Structure 1
Amino acid sequence: MSDGKPDVLLTAGEVAHSRAGDVFAEDLDAADRLRLAFGLLDLLDEYWVTCEIRFANEDAEGPLPADVLWGGYRERLEADRDAEAVTYSLWVDWFEDHATSATAFAEVLGDDIDRVVAEPSEALLRRARRVLECSGPVRWTVKEPTYRTAVRLPALRPALFRALRASFHDVYGDLEPAAALALLDRLQLPADTRHLAELRHVLAAGHRNHHRSPGAWDDAVRSCS
């Protein structure tokens, strides 16, 4: 309910925008404030809560405890429930910012990829797929070792294909065409996989990003049709 109008129900988004920041003013230590914020995220399922978490991480009293911060992200990426707010947060906030992308990617997947491949539980696979699919903006030099390890596990190959495609199409996507093409060929996807031929075409032509070569994808579509 609204403070000014107690009979008016607020939406989850309105609660997130009006109350999420207050969590970090509670008389608790930083770790417990962060846990409370993650609890609010679970309750509201609103991206804005993740924004308040990042604001708190960057303010004068930050950074937030890294083990609680990234443990909270990993837990929600592994959960068998919708994780759109969390993956969107990774994509547009943590991964697009080169000051944070390497650490964020390492924490949510890069440091664990060997374990994921060796012990592929459903929870770990769920996290890996979700991170791969939003990892387009992460610098190629940061994510390539993880991609090369992930390709060894057939269960991750469709997500890795989407990661390569996003690395080409995202506004801030990053890849090295020759290395990405070599990875693409290792995926062993069915030949009729949607957009596979087009992606192979643009990578073979040496294109790094859709927005740097705006006509390349259309040319690939015509050539592959």
Structure 2
Amino acid sequence: MEKRAEEAARRWLADQGVRRARDGWVSDDKPETLLTANQVAHSWAGDVFAEDLDPADQVRLAFGLLDLLDEYWITCEIRFANEGAEGPLPADELWDGYRQRLEADRDAEAVTYSLWVDWFEDHETSATAFAEVLGHDIDRVVVERSEALLRRARRVLECSGPVRWTVKEPSYRTAMRLPTLHAAVFRGVLASFHDVYGDLEPAAALSLLGRLDLPTDTQHLAELRHVLAAGHKNHYRSPGAWDDAVRCSAAGTPRRREQASCRPD
């Protein structure tokens, strides 16, 4: 499916006079100027949604461009079109496009970054976005356990920090049924504390951490437990709390931590 979408995008760009050349791209208008993938994305991706195509085909073509160019800007154009005068885009095609790329055995940084900053950090869209890319079928993930589904789950969990705790906690708890997802759940909770828009409930998050099977030397585990035990919800709303936790973790033994006044408040 993705390969077909990529080939369709390549043909569409060729129709616009844009083609691969050497280590970049060139246009018929300026064949002597080598363009980067980012420049191609900024110059042509928005035109996809001006094509005389069914909206679902426009979405598929845009995701094909994303496969071809691997540039975050294309996801911006997708969201602009979704929020524009002709929007919203067909939800089935929109979210299926995200799910397919989250499941693919290839780099998904542009997709996960888009979820994080464009959909999850906006509380008007985060609940819907999270449900579409994981929440609705987390039970299927833990039952089927296919590599593709697990890959999607890991990627979504790890960038889910800004999603409201009440929205994501059920999926976190379901994901905990699979030890292979425990590290991703941990990173999700860690991001929930550190992201400027992160959201968590300290007591519930601490309880969840206590049920994760993680190596005892997991980086930042001790510090995260400390700030949660002290009732802190977010790095930016509790200035200095994380630095205190780092100091206390470095203090070493329980006696030394007590001497350093490192008991949670």
TM-score band by shorter chain is: over 0.9
Write the deviation string for residues 46-89 of structure 1: whole angstroms up to 9, x where unpaired: 00000000000000110000000000000000000000000000
**Structure 1: gaps (5+ residues):** none
Write the deviation string for residues 106-143 of structure 1: whole angstroms up to 9, x where unpaired: 00000010011111100000000000000000000110
1:105 aligns with 2:133: no
Amino acid in the other structure paired with 2:230: A
Amino acid in the other structure paired with 1:218: D
* Alpha-carbon shift at residue 5 of structure 1 (Å): 2.0
Map 1:41-52; keep pairs closer than 5 Å. 41-52=66-77
Map 1:133-172; keep pairs closer than 5 Å. 133-172=158-197
Following the alignment from structure 1 to structure 2, what is the Cα–Cα distance between the partners of residues 190 and 9?
48
* Alpha-carbon shift at residue 3 of structure 1 (Å): 5.3
Map 1:1-225; keep pairs closer than 5 Å. 1-2=26-27, 4-225=29-250
* Alpha-carbon shift at residue 6 of structure 1 (Å): 2.0
TM-score scaled by structure 1?
0.98
* Alpha-carbon shift at residue 191 of structure 1 (Å): 1.6
Write the deviation string for residues 148-191 of structure 1: whole angstroms up to 9, x where unpaired: 11111101000110000000000100000000000000102122
* Alpha-carbon shift at residue 193 of structure 1 (Å): 1.0
Amino acid in the other structure paired with 2:171: T
Amino acid in the other structure paired with 1:15: V
Length, aligned pairs only: 225
SS at 1:41's partner residue? helix
Amino acid in the other structure paired with 2:92: D
Amino acid in the other structure paired with 1:57: N
TM-score scaled by structure 2?
0.84
Q: Percent identity?
A: 83
Amino acid in the other structure paired with 1:40: L
Amino acid in the other structure paired with 2:37: A
Following the alignment from structure 2 to structure 1, what is the Cα–Cα distance between the partners of residues 126 and 28?
38
Cα RMSD (Å) of the superposition? 0.8
Following the alignment from structure 1 to structure 2, what is the Cα–Cα distance between the partners of residues 113 and 126?
12
